Amino acid sequence: MPSHINGIVIKNAVINASNNLANNKKIVDDMNVFPVPDGDTGTNMSMTLSAAAREVLPITDESASAIAEHVAYASLRGARGNSGVILSQLLRGFSKGIKGEEKIDSTLLAKAMKSASDTAYKAVMKPTEGTMLTVAREAAKYAIKAAKDYPDVIDFAVAVTEKAKQVLDKTPEMLPVLKQAGVVDAGGKGLIIIMEGFIAALKGEEITPLQQQEATAQKRTEQIDTDKIKYMYCTEFIITKKSLNYSTQPFRAAIETIGDSMLVIEDGDIVKVHIHTNRPGFVIEHAVKIGELSDIKIDNMKYQHSEKVACEPPKKYGIIAVAAGEGLENIFKDIGVDRIVKGGQSMNPSTEDILSSVESLNAENIIILPNNKNIILAAEQAAKISKKNVNVIPSRTIPQGISAVLMFEEEKSLKENKEAMTKALSGIKTGQVTFAARHSVIDGKEIAEGDILGMEEGDITVIGKQPNDVALQIINKLADEKSVVITLFFGADISEAAADELSEQIKLLYPNCDVMAHSGGQPLYYYIISVE
């Protein structure tokens, strides 16, 4: 009956939980209330946790605190979508709760769960009850009370997970939309799957992935000739050994798998180290075990390569926009956006993707336009991590993002630009036309898989069979006597002829409006509609 667990157990728990979630992510995805093909909860949580699992896989440290720190760091950068960001904050809070502890018992686990819940709640501006936040909070509250009754950590984890399941079962009573759809909260379900993976690790069981995991490390961010740079940081320093008897072999073995161009040159009690790596902190952590460090130099090679910072002064502003589709990307570039982070519906970029774009820009002030409500938290997280002056304009749609950029003026102050760009968001009405990815019931309306869905400001208000018919109905709902411009961004599955036909219909119905159609090339969404 184990009363304590160490870092190795936590490492195995993270790997188990990641595999368990990957194996069951479709179950979680299918629980999403909205049937539209957006970035799904299970997929986003799975990709976030898999980033943490990859990080700890090569680590042999037995300290619970050390492993938890690695997990928190990797999940923060790998977070995708709102559910992924919330999960990363739970893991960050867990790490804070056991800081400095080599081993942890039921009492410390409970404390860590409370810290996890508190941290996640603070990260969300307007927490909604009946979500994974509620499940985490109530499980932590129970854990604090139950810790003394369960000295065996396995029994404790099982009891807490059972409590979490009971809370999950009640989420439909807290959120009417869940009750209407006949499902429990998807994020909460994902959290239970993670906890079950944790329990399996405590019991010494291994959960293996049922299929090849996604290649989550692919480049989603547009860069400037940096694709061939695999390892970002050129790390150099000198170690003065504590004793001549200290061997550098364990140090070499620890770092050789996390970089290239490695040199570890010994000269008496002096060791010169050079390596290209993405984890300079890991290298330094192992180096201090040998002796004192001096002449530490860590250079971001991608940053230097892409912006030639040694030669070029930073410009006043840099703008980043998230978009999917060649046409939309070109539109943003044409109106002055510096970097495009590829992403949107069904492909939410990670915090790391956004952060990479931020770091590639040589600018005093950086403005990010997420252009999707499920990407705003990841953008805000990237802004917190970066040491640069990063500002997020919370655009929820592509039309809002375009309108915000058009209000930007180089000669104005950052405060003036932020105010003008944020104000522009409310001056745009957005419509979207897509298809139902799954059967669902919304506001009492039966939706069959494959139905064409029309949305006003994210709410499904039209159900039909033809994209053009649905688009026209949505425009009739959005446009009024005050409307002056109607813009269509047609997707990859709509021909130019079909878009032109719809444009002509709109011109006849709204002769006082300027009507424009642009090829957006976006996947999954037949039309994105802007009315202003």
Reported as half-sphere exposure (CB side, CA atoms, 13 A), residue 350 has a value of 27
Task: Report the pLDDT averaged over residues 203-226.
Answer: 57
Contact 71, 59 (CB under 8 A): no
For the domain covering 233-305, report its CATH number.
Answer: 3.30.70.2730
Each residue's pLDDT tens digit, 292-344: 888 788 877 665 545 444 446 789 999 999 999 999 999 999 989 999 998 87
Class of domain 429-531: alpha beta
Q: pTM of this prediction?
A: 0.76
**What is the rounded distance in angstroms from the CA atom of residue 384 to the CA atom of residue 406?**
26
**What is the rounded distance in angstroms from the CA atom of residue 191 to the CA atom of residue 373?**
22
Dihedral of CA atoms 163, 166, 168, 171 in degrees, nearest 10, equals -130
For the domain covering 319-398+406-425, report its CATH number.
Answer: 3.40.50.510
Fold: same for 7-202 and 233-305: no
SS (H, E, C) 41-105: HHHHHHHHHHHHHHHHCCCCCCCHHHHHHHHHHHHHHHCEHHHHHHHHHHHHHHHHHCCCCCCEC
Q: Is 154 exposed, middle or buried (0-12, 13-18, 19+ CB in 10 A)?
A: middle
Each residue's pLDDT tens digit, 217-260: 333 333 434 455 667 787 888 888 888 777 887 888 888 788 87
| Residue 224: per-residue pLDDT | 36
Sign of CA dihedral 442, 476, 403, 494: positive
Q: Which two tokens stand for residue 130?
A: 């009946």
Contact 65, 102 (CB under 8 A): yes
Task: Report the pLDDT averaged over residues 153-162.
Answer: 96
| Residue 263: per-residue pLDDT | 67
At residue 456 the predicted structure's pLDDT band, cuts being 50, 70 and 90, is: very high
| Residue 300: per-residue pLDDT | 76
452-456 and 429-435 as β-strands: parallel, antiparallel, unpaired?
antiparallel
**What is the rounded distance in angstroms from the CA atom of residue 156 to the CA atom of residue 153?**
5
∠ CA 8-11-14, rounded to 5°: 150
**What is the rounded distance in angstroms from the CA atom of residue 389 to the CA atom of residue 369?**
15
Q: Which two tokens stand for residue 109?
A: 């686990």
Highest mean pLDDT among 154-158, 260-264, 300-304: 154-158
Task: Report the pLDDT averaged over residues 478-500.
Answer: 93
Nearest CA to 461 among 445, 449, 448? 445
- Domain 7-202 is found in CATH 1.25.40.340: yes
Beta bridge partners of 269: none
Q: Is 221 helix (H, G, I), strand (E, B) or coil?
A: strand
Nearest CA to 303 among 368, 232, 401? 232
| Residue 37: per-residue pLDDT | 65
The single-letter DSSP state of residue 196 is H
- For the chain, what are the domain ranges? 7-202, 233-305, 319-398+406-425, 429-531
For 139, list phi and psi in degrees, rounded to 5. -65, -40
Each residue's pLDDT tens digit, 389-448: 999 999 999 999 999 999 999 999 999 999 999 999 999 999 999 998 888 877 777 888
Contact 488, 504 (CB under 8 A): no
Q: Which residue has the tokens 């390892």?
A: 231
